[in-house]
Amino acid sequence: MSGGSSRSPELQLLKHVPDPVRTEIASRLRVIRAAKGRTLVEKGSRSTDVFFLLEGRAKVLLYSSSGREVCVHNIGPGDTFGDIAVLDGEPRSASILASTELRVVVMRAKDFMTCLESSPEAALWLARNLASCVRRLTDQVFELSALNVQARLHCELLRLARSGEQCNGVIEVRPAPTQAELASRIGTHREAVTREMRALSEAGIIRYGRRTLVIVDLARLEQFVNR
pLDDT tens-digit map of 116-154: 999 999 999 999 999 999 999 999 899 989 999 999 999
Instruction: Label residue 127 exposed, middle or buried (CB < 10 Å: 0-12, 13-18, 19+).
Output: exposed
**CA distances to 35, 42, 101 from 2, in Å:** 9, 18, 12
Nearest by Cα to 50 from 19, 8, 101, 96 = 96
> CA angle 82-84-89, nearest 5°?
105
Instruction: Label residue 191 exposed, middle or buried (CB < 10 Å: 0-12, 13-18, 19+).
Output: exposed
Whether the pLDDT of residue 111 is over 70: the answer is yes
The answer to pTM > 0.75 is yes
Q: Which domains are assigned to the chain?
A: 2-138 (2.60.120.10), 147-226 (1.10.10.10)
